[in-house]
Amino acid sequence: MAEKKSLEFQADVSKVLHLVVHSLYTKKEIFLRELISNAADAIDKRRFRALTDPTFALEAGRIVLTPNEKEGTLTISDNGIGMTEEELTSHLGTIARSGTREFTENLKKAGENSGDLTQLIGQFGVGFYSAFLVAEQVEVTSRAVGHDQAYRWTSDARTSFTIEPAERDEPGTTIVLKLKEDEKEYAKPWRVREVVRHHSDYIGHPVELIDPEKPDEPEILNQAKALWQRNPKEVTKEQYEEFYKHLAHDWEAPLAYRHFKIEGNQEFAGIVYLPKNARADLLDPRTKHGVRLHVRRVLAMESSEELLPSWLRFVRGVVDSEDLPLNVSRETLQDSRIVRIMRKQVVSNVLTMIEELKKERPEEYVTFWTKFGAILKEGLYFEPELKERLSELCLFAHTLPSTESSDAEKARENAEPFGEWTTLAGYVSRMKEGQKGIYYIEGTSLALLRQSPHLEKLVKSGHEVLLLTDNVDSFALEKLTDYADKPFINVTSADLDLGESDAEKPEPTDALTEKLQTVLGSKVQSVRNSSRLAESPACLVTPEGGLPPHMVAMFKAQNLTVPETKRILEINPDHPIIQNLRKMQLLNSDSPELARYMELLYDQALLAEGAELESPAQVARRIGSLLEDLSSRAIRD
């Protein structure tokens, strides 16, 4: 028989172990929830395999807890799928979880601030390792189904563990915790009972307690009925929350949940949850997502993407169908009519949960929105038939009417409970009389957008403008197009109609705009006088069908080639700079100075919108020579 082997933990693991022990010390008792949850998963896995392979058959799942005061130990034993020697090494010796790399990177960033660390650990879950919160030594004896040989994994949570052959009568796993001196309370039956009732009641398999003094009287500690099968009236908030932590490997309680039962042609029940925090890999649409699928209580799939669209990839939950075949596979799920019906219901229930959160807890809704709003908006693009419901959920940053305008009063009256954000309904309720649509501007940052020359006149005249900064916004608006019969109007588009009479509009072109066109040549499509500017001398606008600059930047960042869009330079005829240029032109239309100033005017319009300059060095040279002129003039005067 092979002898005892001593192995080092993978580097990340010892770091995690250290963190778990040091940052979760106030919540030590949750170690038991984690171990029971692993045992329940192992039983589910065995039952699932048994559907196609009789070797895995199991009459009834059992999770047995044996606290032993005399020995100072707590033993957790299950008759689940068990682990082979390799599995013991790899599952308990590495963090076998996606996102490990991000985790270690984040660790470096978080430093030793324990508040941040707890949150970090929460994002990734460290399940099994939490045993070291209370144990000075952990011994895992496991025998995989279909194998005769069992193995024992032992570690004292420092840097290494040992593996050696062992005996176990039946397949399954037994974990013996040798409790630390201060943690001996977990060797007392009453304490174990209390923790299990509190944290693990949702477990669908019986959790038994065996008191070594009364070994023949096992006591069942939980209801052992799947939580989603119970009457919602009989389930407490805490139970829903504990179940979520098990399901999502999250240490934090969820932001919201919804328990539903569908009856009729298709019968199924489920619970969906909104997490409080986003996992690190959330923004990537390829991230695995979906709800856990059970078929008549038996776990059939860890995450069924068919039941939840990718724009709801932050949702966690469980669905249990009465109608699907037990041996359901990915392929059958993909083209199953039953699944399509279920998906519709699951999505609808998730939306109801989000709608309720928005209505009942606006402040928390803002938290939700800042973390997940950009993902939810993808739904507007992918599922236009849900446009009505989704558009009511959207929040937007916006400009406020300047305080001196009479519109400020109206804005205060129609204020919404979402802080800096507005809903579309709120925006429309504050629209000015005669306003044709919902004004918006897109760009990379709020700070930049708020300063944008394009919205000066609008804001001054008491109009609100939505400020859109998420990459998804352009795509979402492509499908959304209007809200409450009001079209969305991009304030940087060339054909922006501010509703003025012709008499109020300046002549579109004159000698100065023509001169500008000659000087700037192919940099711009055309030059014209504008009525959208108040404080700035000039801005660039996108002609119809052209790509706005932030989209160009986004495509370029993804290494995509984009057709070049030449923009229109608009100038503010009332601005002192423009008026001076006009005078200079009258004096000498061919002066090199005039041409230089015109180039600078264009550069300045680019700078104001935060665009990437084609040649920053050249712009710097132009500014430099201007400074030289000005400073020598100052000395002369």
Could you give the CA distance from residue 522 to residue 578 in angstroms, rounded to a whole number? 21
- The minimum distance between CB 617 and ligand ADP, in angstroms, equals 53
Q: Is 425 in a helix, a strand, or coil?
A: helix
Shortest Cβ distance from residue 13 to ligand ADP (Å)?
10
Least Cβ distance, residue 472 to ligand ADP (angstroms):
31
Cβ at position 11, least distance to ligand ADP in Å: 16
Question: How far apart, in whole angstroms, are the C-alpha atoms of residue 165 and residue 400?
Answer: 71
Give residues in contact with ligand ADP (CB under 6 A): 34, 38-39, 42, 78, 80-83, 91-92, 96, 125, 127-128, 173, 249
The structure tokens listed for 189 are 């039956």
- Structure-block tokens of residue 441: 């501007």
The torsion region of residue 123 among left (phi > 0), alpha (psi -120 to 50) and beta comes to: alpha
Rounded Cα distance between 34 and 245, Å, is 9
CB atoms within 10 A of CB 28: 18
User: What H or E segment, with its residue span, contains residue 411?
Assistant: helix 407-413
Q: Between residues 107 and 581, which has the closer beta carbon with respect to ligand ADP?
A: 107
Asked if 192 contacts 87 with a C-beta cutoff of 8 angstroms, the reply is no
The DSSP-derived string for 514-573 is HHHHHHHGGGEEEEEE-SS-SS-SEEEEBPTTPPPHHHHHHHHHTT-------EEEEE-T
Of residues 79 and 239, the one with the C-beta less far from ligand ADP: 79
Closer of 37 and 423 to ligand ADP (Cβ): 37
Q: Comparing C-alpha atoms, which of 72, 76, 66, 32 is closest to residue 212?
A: 66
Coil, helix or strand for 161?
Answer: strand
Closest approach of ligand ADP to the CB of residue 195, in Å: 17
Instruction: Considering the complex, state which of residue 75 and residue 173 has its C-beta at the smaller distance from ligand ADP.
Output: 173
Spatial distance between the Cα atoms of 300 and 302, rounded to a whole number of angstroms: 7
Shortest separation between residue 174's beta carbon and ligand ADP, angstroms = 9
Strand 150-155: give its sheet, edge to edge: 5-8, 160-166, 150-155, 135-143, 172-179, 73-78, 63-68, 207-209, 219-220
Q: How many residues does the chain have?
A: 637
Nearer to ligand ADP by C-beta: 81 or 393? 81
Q: How far is the CB of 128 from ligand ADP (least distance, A)?
A: 3
Pick between residue 124 and residue 257 the one whose CB is nearest to ligand ADP: 124
Both structure tokens of 317:
């939950």
Q: Which is nearer to ligand ADP, 144 or 312 (CB)?
A: 144
Q: Which amino acid is at 502?
A: D
Paired sense of beta strands 396-398 and 486-490, if any: unpaired
Phi, psi dihedrals of residue 64, rounded to the nearest 5°: -120, 130
The minimum distance between CB 155 and ligand ADP, in angstroms, equals 13
Give the nearer residue to ligand ADP in terms of CB position, either 173 or 513: 173
C-alpha 62/C-alpha 34 separation (Å) is 16
DSSP string, 128-181: GGGGGGTEEEEEEEEE-TT-S-EEEEEE-SSSEEEEEEE--SSSEEEEEEEE-G
Closest CB to ligand ADP among residues 86, 593? 86
User: In sequence order, which residues have a C-beta less than 8 Å from that of residue 230 and are 6 or more positions away?
Assistant: 223
Tell me the two tokens of residue 419: 């802080």
Residue with tokens 């009332």: 574
Backbone angles phi, psi at 531, to 5 degrees: -115, 10
Minimum distance from residue 230 beta carbon to ligand ADP (Å):
24
Smallest distance, ligand ADP to C-beta of residue 82, A: 6
Shortest distance, position 427 Cβ to ligand ADP, whole Å:
44
Instruction: Between 290 and 453, name the residue whose CB sits nearer to ligand ADP.
Output: 290
Nearer to ligand ADP, 125 or 453 (CB): 125
Question: Which position's Cβ is nearest ligand ADP?
Answer: 127
Nearer to ligand ADP, 30 or 468 (CB): 30
> Residue 472 and residue 380: Cα distance in Å, rounded?
10
* Region class of 297: left (phi > 0), else alpha (psi between -120 and 50), else beta: left
CB of 184 to ligand ADP, least distance (A): 23
Q: Which of 265, 263, 239 is nearest to 253 (CA)?
A: 239
Least distance in angstroms from the C-beta of 27 to ligand ADP: 16
Helix, strand or coil, per DSSP, at residue 74: strand
Under 8 Å CB-to-CB from 86, ≥6 apart: which residues?
A: none
The distance from CA 508 to its chain's CA centroid, rounded to whole angstroms, is 47
Nearer to ligand ADP, 41 or 416 (CB): 41
Looking at beta carbons only, is 147 or 450 nearer to ligand ADP?
147
Find the shortest distance in angstroms from Cβ 348 to ligand ADP.
30
